[in-house]
Structure 1
Amino acid sequence: MSVIPRRRRAAGAAALAAGLLLAVAACGGGGSGTTAKGGDTKAGTGTGGKVTLTFWDWDPNIDKVVAKWNAGHPGIQVKLSNPAGGDQLVAKMITAHEAKNGPDIAKVEYQSLPALVSKGVVADITDYTKDTVTKYDQATLKSTVFQGKVYGIPQDVAPLMLFYRADLFAKYGLTVPKTWDDFAATAKALRAKAPSAYLTNFDAADPGWFTGLAQQAGANWWSTSGDSWKVDIADAPTKKVAGYWQQLVDGGSIAKNPSFSPQWNKQMNDGTLLTWISGAWAPAQLGGIAPATKGKWKVAQLPAWTAGDPTTGIWGGSATTVTSDSPHPEEAAEFASWLNTDDAAVTEQVKQINVYPAATAGRSLPVLQAAPAFFPNQPDFYAEVKKVAPSARSFPMWGPDVTVTFTGYTDGFAKALQSGGSFTAALDSMQSATLADMKKLGFTVG
């Protein structure tokens, strides 16, 4: 089965077929070849036979992890840069690739990887990762392996969790909601008790959290049959999620401002907002968002549609990729493997950026027995994440133009919030924009 744009099939099919957008449904683990072995004798961009690799990554404190590598690998030095994060970094990677001046290594969120594979931005590193891939379970590997070829080393998994202000829940006599019905009732009760406070906000600026909620509800936005794609962003599970949040917004139960804005940061810091639906990586961000709240947050399982159901979605989760522009793919793959599977490196990542490791052994490291620095009041933080991680559900496959889909979210839902319009109509606009772009790119869409 091949899911390649029609216009590329004649001249480009041979080059593209190895990794193109059979996406996650056709993934398999492993590859052939040998793991890279770095050393001082390799020719490179530095002096004295040293290799200097450029690494694009937006994680706070990742420089401390890179410093650990550099101290132990004098022959392969890594130079860190943070040009952007998330979708913006993907756009910069594409632009840099077109100019033939991309980095050697880059952090990429799982949903963005298929598009970067299809555009030839990231390299097939199968020959350098035979040993590395044995350190992951198949469910984790499938996000980075396409048609049996490895295009990235998984860094973390990011199940959606409910982060809540334990002190304010106690102050207002609130119980942590276990179902979405409970969540709605709690949001309404809080407004009655504290009119200046909100349980949470609806964020129309970042689609990550909403996508995770759709996944939890059972949505499948992309699928394939033969050479044809199906796009179903406005499917029944996603409409259920949109309708639920529309009621909360229309009823005035939750705030409407975007996350990661100065206003939102202030509200998170001063107690206006009592919860944050976020990925397991949130502790690494809260220190910068709400510094006055250290030790006041706790984490709980995401509310369920059916009581007792542990299913959750994901928000983010990333891989370390080697770009096709790198003149040193073997050394770059060695660093990517070390970063995400070496016990000392993974331990340092947990300490510095609060990842929940993707590598199987990483999830049993002693460092996970302690709380993240921002959550000193919850020593079982990672134990709570571990409970739900096996039930974290992504889409079975991501589409080839996720950036367009996500832009459709920010455009459509922002307009709906401003005008009091329909969230379902916003989903329809996402669907239309995604279909139009895929057809423009030459994909067959049924």
Structure 2
Amino acid sequence: MTGTIALVLAATGCGGTTGTGSATRTVTSITALDYYTDASEHSQWGEMLTACGKTVGVQVEQTSVPTASLIPKVLQQVSSRTLPDLLMLDNPDVQQIAQTGALTPLDQYGVDSGGFAKGILSAGTYQGKVYGLAPDVSTLALFYNKDMLAKAGVAVPRNWDELKTAAARLTRPGRYGMAVDANATFEGTWQFLPFLWSNGGDEKRLDTPQAAQALQLWVDLVKSGSMSKSVLNWTQADVHDQFAAGRTAMMLNGPWRIPALNKDKNLHWGVAPVPVPRTGQTPVTPLGGEVWTVPQSPSRARQEKAARVLACLNDSASMLALAKEHFTVPSRPAVASRYVQQVPSMAAFARSVAAARSRTGELGVKWPKAATGIHIAIQSALAGEQTPEEALRHAQQFATSN
């Protein structure tokens, strides 16, 4: 797709109006920081930043650091007042950085935040002000092996009972029916959230019957042998490898797995929404994706230029180009509707994004502690050390401790 983004943006005049003044004409370059260290991803985003920079008359100098290094680096830059002009953040981190006062509200530059899905807008909002916008997002869905389901005479599960039945019927020597990432990280928490939230559970109060029922579902899948106990150590990449190798018939994963799945022409797969407690309910899934922000700076002119680049990144044309490149979902539902007509394999993800929630929507800066409590509870319950009720009671105590 090299060159496509630049052509699209040139044709659309991406960038819009952001209330900038004449002083911005003196700024010829701005800096941007992100965590896109993968060579292809760094190049793709570099191309987009360059194209958007050209539309507003600046060169964008992109720096990428490893994911784990981004927040420590940003906090150091906050202290030394050396923040970049344009800053990308994983959406759960926006609250923490906005709390420091390091970010500027986007409305003061006239950046258009209209038409975004509610959950996506929430992800970039702190204390009622929008500090960041995500051009494209991701979430979770159920991948299934079409051949395995057909041979076993199993329909794609829509609810929890159907999921347990299907997983059991699909399990046989050398193959499990279902796979998730239940490891002791925020990834494990992320994968559990669709079950917690869709059952009416809430991270504000983890020791509830609704939360215990969701965790019991995972425990039942492991106890019955329909899901490997190794999920306690698997990453989402490991889950993908199990599915691609035919060692699991179904998996919970994100759309970023589609390019690799598409490469195996002998693997016939489908994707459906995450099963819900009862048929007819709408799954509530977590939002993944990065938001772009404009940090505080002594130069108003640089901030205004950065805001115009940010506006360009979030233009409908940019959203569509990025989504096609990365197999993500455009953040504006109107754009997402057009997108799924062109990329049908993303339909389940697009439907789920419409009702998806940001992880910090309820707890804000307190989310990481609750997330830690959740994955500790998952580990304890699936290992058989505690019942789901006991594990979640301890998780609640941990989440609310000082």
TM-score, normalisation: structure 2: 0.79
Counterpart pick for 2:50 among 50, 62, 70: 70
Counterpart pick for 1:247 among 220, 228, 238: 220
CA distance in structure 1 between the aligned counterparts of 2:315 and 2:22, rounded to whole angstroms:
16
Match of 1:406 in 2: 371
1:11-160 maps to which residues of 2 (within 5 A)? 34-36=18-20, 41-43=25-27, 50-58=28-36, 61=41, 63-71=43-51, 73-74=53-54, 75-85=57-67, 89-128=70-109, 130-136=110-116, 140-160=120-140
Query: What is the one-letter code of the residue matched to 2:341?
Result: Q
1:202-221 maps to which residues of 2 (within 5 A)? 202-205=181-184, 206=187, 207-221=189-203
The verdict on how the C-alpha distance between 1:148 and 1:92 changes in structure 2, with shifts beyond 3 A counting, is: same
Question: What's the CA shift for 1:144?
Answer: 2.4
CA contact (8 A) 1:39 1:73 kept: no
Counterpart pick for 1:390 among 350, 354, 358: 354
Counterpart pick for 1:187 among 144, 167, 171: 167
Match of 1:311 in 2: 283
Match of 1:425 in 2: 390
Question: What's the CA shift for 1:216?
Answer: 1.5
1:259-278 maps to which residues of 2 (within 5 A)? 259-260=234-235, 263-278=238-253
Q: Does 1:296 align with 2:274?
A: no
Tell me the C-alpha RMSD between the 2 structures: 3.3
The verdict on how the C-alpha distance between 1:290 and 1:122 changes in structure 2, with shifts beyond 3 A counting, is: farther
Counterpart pick for 1:355 among 318, 322, 328: 328
Query: What is the one-letter code of the residue matched to 1:196?
Result: R
CA contact (8 A) 1:311 1:393 kept: no
Q: Which has the higher helix share?
A: 2
Match of 1:229 in 2: none
The verdict on how the C-alpha distance between 1:427 and 1:326 changes in structure 2, with shifts beyond 3 A counting, is: farther
Match of 1:330 in 2: 304
CA distance in structure 2 between the aligned counterparts of 1:410 and 1:122, rounded to whole angstroms:
30
CA distance in structure 2 between the aligned counterparts of 1:138 and 1:312, rounded to whole angstroms:
13
Query: What is the one-letter code of the residue matched to 2:218?
Result: W
Query: What is the one-letter code of the residue matched to 1:347?
Result: L
CA distance in structure 2 between the aligned counterparts of 1:326 and 1:418, rounded to whole angstroms:
53
The DSSP-based 3-state class of the residue aligned with 2:280 is coil
CA distance in structure 2 between the aligned counterparts of 1:268 and 1:92, rounded to whole angstroms:
36
CA contact (8 A) 2:170 2:176 kept: yes
Deviations 1:339-373 (A, max 9, x none): 12241x112201211221112442244x43222xx
CA contact (8 A) 1:311 1:391 kept: yes
TM-score, normalisation: structure 1: 0.72
Deviations 1:135-161 (A, max 9, x none): 435564333234442211133344432
CA contact (8 A) 2:31 2:85 kept: yes
CA contact (8 A) 1:349 1:355 kept: yes
CA distance in structure 1 between the aligned counterparts of 2:23 and 2:346, rounded to whole angstroms:
36
Unaligned runs of 5+ in 2: 1-16
CA contact (8 A) 1:201 1:273 kept: no
Deviations 1:389-421 (A, max 9, x none): 433355752332222222333444335444643
Match of 1:201 in 2: 180
Counterpart pick for 1:238 among 190, 204, 211: 211
The share of aligned pairs that are identical, in percent, is: 21
CA distance in structure 1 between the aligned counterparts of 2:179 and 2:31, rounded to whole angstroms:
42
The DSSP-based 3-state class of the residue aligned with 2:401 is helix
CA contact (8 A) 1:219 1:237 kept: yes
The verdict on how the C-alpha distance between 1:121 and 1:237 changes in structure 2, with shifts beyond 3 A counting, is: farther
Query: What is the one-letter code of the residue matched to 2:168?
Result: K
Question: What's the CA shift for 1:181?
Answer: 0.5
The verdict on how the C-alpha distance between 1:100 and 1:303 changes in structure 2, with shifts beyond 3 A counting, is: same
Give the number of equivalent residue pairs.
374
Query: What is the one-letter code of the residue matched to 1:277?
Result: L
The DSSP-based 3-state class of the residue aligned with 2:363 is coil
Question: What's the CA shift for 1:182?
Answer: 0.5
The DSSP-based 3-state class of the residue aligned with 1:106 is strand
CA distance in structure 2 between the aligned counterparts of 1:122 and 1:334, rounded to whole angstroms:
16
